[in-house]
């Protein structure tokens, strides 16, 4: 049985939960509690859990009493067991109302082919469940899930090393850190690491922060199953708000990989941390300041950001100028539309390296247009790693795009999708980096009206973008009410 098959069986359990009134938003969190207990039994790590509060104890309860015991178990594990257990079960509660629902879940989880699951990799199994959840629009989880093909491409050109301190300040379910770990282990020989390297890898390599508690517990589970030490005392992903003083406590990084949340801070308020030169309620601009200020000299970053970061005036222009002064903003990748949950959102990846000084680091910026004349991605046309092959080849082998690498770009010449813009040219444009030069062949002549289905699709995309922002606001309000 493959990971895909097991993920399908797990996802079918969501129908059992749905019949008990559990919403899409709550599905994976509810399954995570049960899967943690079962996987601890399967992997021989039940010593993390206090005796009497393990999978076998839940399974041994008579069906009518099991739900009541389960709710007590969740509360107990929030304050007992290992640090990881207490983090995953912090403020945990069950949305299950019927004892029969829980009994069905326990029985079905127990019947899964756990031998095959261990052979395939429990981490891949769990991440498959998260990806399945993200693909269901009703769940609203897509806003937290960056497409795997994009993550892998960003990691590939950034080339993490064992010497790196890697950070994701908007960690979501941990996808970037897990992909960086995969790359690192695939391109080195862990058996040859010295004791000092092993210690550094376990306790001083992966750092992140996530401010939604349910998402945070999913991230901890994901990291654990992929073999990353997610004990908060050993780095890992912390529960907190990066735009508060908690974010200032994150260690300076040599590599930042992230997809920050879009939109404005709730109520239009400013971040509560006091180290930003340009205070703004705009989340992406606030995160961008955290990122380039949080890099060590020579540190590199790859960051997914929406189009408005490239062209917004006033404080937006000030922040872009500050970025180009402090860092070498050497590459911008214009991403296709439709690859995120809200299809109307247009995004880019900014690649930059922190300079040794704070002035004049960006001499030129290369823009790769992977948006114009590309397919409309979605369920019918899936984004794959192959779509990034030409970009990765054009980017080259130097993750920092040092002057030598930029010179090689000159030698190979500009392609149709890849062009160079000197810092002076950007300045003439009012420091706008929203640069496009390819003709969109799908638009036809200027006097031809768009087809009705195109207009409908665009309207739906705009509506989905608005609904995504509304969902973020409602989630934040729910969190405030819980507090």
- The whole-angstrom separation of Cα 341 and Cα 344 is 9
End-to-end CA distance of the chain: 43
391-428 per-position pLDDT tens digit: 999 999 999 988 878 888 888 777 789 999 999 999 99
Mean pLDDT of 153-179: 95
Say what percent of the chain tops pLDDT 70. 85
Start and end residues for every CATH 3.40.50.150 domain found in the chain: 140-443
CA distance 65 to 59: 11
Radius of gyration of the chain from its Cα atoms, rounded to whole angstroms: 23
| Domain at 140-443, CATH homologous superfamily | Vaccinia Virus protein VP39 (3.40.50.150)
Are the CB atoms for 266 and 250 separated by under 8 Å?
no
pLDDT at 452 over 80: no
Residue 140 has pLDDT above 70, yes or no: no
C-alpha 321/C-alpha 15 separation (Å) is: 51
Q: Which residue has the tokens 């908690």?
A: 246
User: Band of the pLDDT at 470, cuts 50, 70, 90?
Assistant: low
Q: Give the span between the Cα atoms of 78 and 84, in whole angstroms.
A: 10
Per-residue DSSP letter, 46 = G
pLDDT of res. 409 = 85
Residue 118 has a pLDDT of 79
Domain with CATH 1.20.1260.30 in the chain: 3-135
More confident of the two residues 137 and 278? 278
306 near 340, Cβ under 8 Å? no
What is the tens place of the pLDDT at every residue in 186-220?
A: 999 999 999 999 999 988 999 999 998 888 888 88
DSSP 298-344: EEEEEEEEETHHHH--THHHHHHHHHHHHEEEEEEEEPPTTSSSSTT
Best CA proximity match to 351, nearest among 402, 317, 278: 402
Residue 176 has pLDDT above 50, yes or no: yes
147 Cβ contact partners less than 8 Å away, ≥ 6 residues apart: 339, 340, 383
Instruction: Quote the pLDDT of residue 274.
Output: 82
pLDDT in the model for residue 345: 78
Q: Is 452 exposed, middle or buried (0-12, 13-18, 19+ CB in 10 A)?
A: exposed
For 360-378, write each residue's pLDDT tens digit. 999 999 999 999 999 878 7
Query: Higher pLDDT residue, 60 or 446?
Result: 60
- What's the confidence (pLDDT) of residue 251? 93
From the CB of residue 464, how many other CB atoms can be counted at a distance below 10 Å? 17
Reading phi first (left if > 0) and then psi (alpha if -120 to 50, else beta), residue 252 is in: beta
Question: Is residue 479 predicted with pLDDT exceeding 70?
Answer: no
pLDDT of residue 230: 61
The mean pLDDT of 89-100, rounded to a whole number, is 92
**pLDDT on residue 242:** 94
Q: 């509506």: which residue's tokens?
A: 463
How high is the pLDDT of residue 449?
42
State the residue for tokens 């912390």: 238
Q: In the prediction, which pLDDT does 457 show?
A: 52
Place of tokens 């409602």: 474
446: pLDDT strictly greater than 50: no
Determine the pLDDT at residue 263. 72
Whether 306 has a pLDDT exceeding 50, the answer reads yes
CATH second-level architecture of 3-135? Up-down Bundle (1.20)
CA-CA-CA-CA dihedral for 115, 119, 122, 125, to nearest 10: -90
As a whole number of angstroms, the longest Cα–Cα distance in the chain is 74
Condensed to tens digits (0 to 9), the pLDDT of residues 8-54 reads 888 888 888 888 888 767 888 888 999 999 989 988 889 999 999 99
Give residue 448's pLDDT: 40
Per-residue model confidence (pLDDT) at position 378: 72
């Amino acid at each position: 049985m493959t990971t895909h098959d097991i993920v399908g069986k797990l996802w079918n359990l969501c129908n059992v939960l749905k019949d008990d009134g559990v919403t899409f938003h709550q599905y994976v969190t509810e399954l995570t509690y049960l899967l943690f207990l079962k996987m601890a039994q399967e992997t021989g790590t039940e010593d993390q859990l206090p005796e009497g509060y393990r999978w076998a104890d839940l399974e041994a309860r008579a069906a009518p009493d099991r739900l009541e015991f389960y709710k007590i178990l969740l509360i107990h594990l929030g304050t007992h067991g290992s640090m990881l257990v207490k983090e995953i079960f912090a403020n945990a509660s069950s949305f299950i109302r019927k004892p029969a629902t829980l009994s069905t879940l326990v029985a079905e989880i127990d019947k899964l082919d756990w031998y095959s699951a261990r052979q395939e990799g429990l981490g891949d199994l769990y991440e498959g469940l998260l990806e399945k959840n993200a693909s269901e629009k009703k769940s609203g989880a897509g806003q937290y899930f960056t497409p795997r093909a994009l993550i892998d491409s960003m990691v590939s050109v950034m080339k993490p090393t064992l010497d790196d301190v890697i950070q994701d300040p908007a960690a979501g379910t941990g996808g970037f850190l897990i992909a960086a770990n995969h790359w690192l282990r695939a391109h080195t020989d862990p058996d040859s690491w010295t004791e000092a390297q092993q210690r550094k890898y376990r306790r001083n390599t992966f750092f992140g922060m996530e401010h939604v508690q349910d998402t945070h517990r999913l991230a901890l589970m994901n990291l654990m199953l992929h073999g990353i030490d997610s004990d908060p005392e050993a780095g890992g992903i912390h529960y907190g708000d990066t735009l508060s003083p908690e974010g200032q406590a994150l260690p300076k990084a040599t590599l930042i990989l992230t997809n920050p949340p879009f939109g404005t801070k709730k109520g239009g308020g400013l971040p509560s941390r006091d180290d930003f030169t340009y205070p703004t309620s705009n989340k992406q601009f606030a995160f961008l300041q955290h990122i380039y200020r949080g890099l060590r000299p020579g540190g590199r970053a790859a960051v997914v950001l929406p189009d408005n970061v490239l062209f917004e005036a006033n404080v937006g222009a000030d922040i872009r100028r500050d970025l180009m002064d402090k860092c070498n903003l050497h590459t911008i990748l214009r991403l296709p539309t439709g690859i995120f949950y809200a299809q109307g959102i247009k995004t880019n990846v900014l690649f930059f390296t922190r300079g040794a000084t704070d002035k004049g680091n960006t001499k030129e910026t290369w823009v790769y247009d992977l948006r114009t004349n590309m397919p409309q991605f979605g369920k019918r046309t899936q984004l794959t790693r192959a779509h990034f092959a030409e970009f990765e080849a054009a980017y080259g082998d130097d993750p920092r795009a040092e002057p030598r690498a930029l010179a090689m770009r000159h030698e190979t010449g500009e392609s149709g999708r890849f062009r160079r813009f000197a810092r002076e040219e950007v300045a003439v444009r009012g420091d706008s980096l929203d640069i496009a030069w390819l003709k969109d062949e799908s638009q036809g002549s200027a006097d031809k009206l768009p087809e009705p289905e195109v207009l409908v699709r665009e309207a739906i995309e705009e509506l989905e973008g608005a609904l995504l922002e509304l969902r973020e606001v409602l989630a934040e309000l729910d969190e405030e009410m819980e507090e």
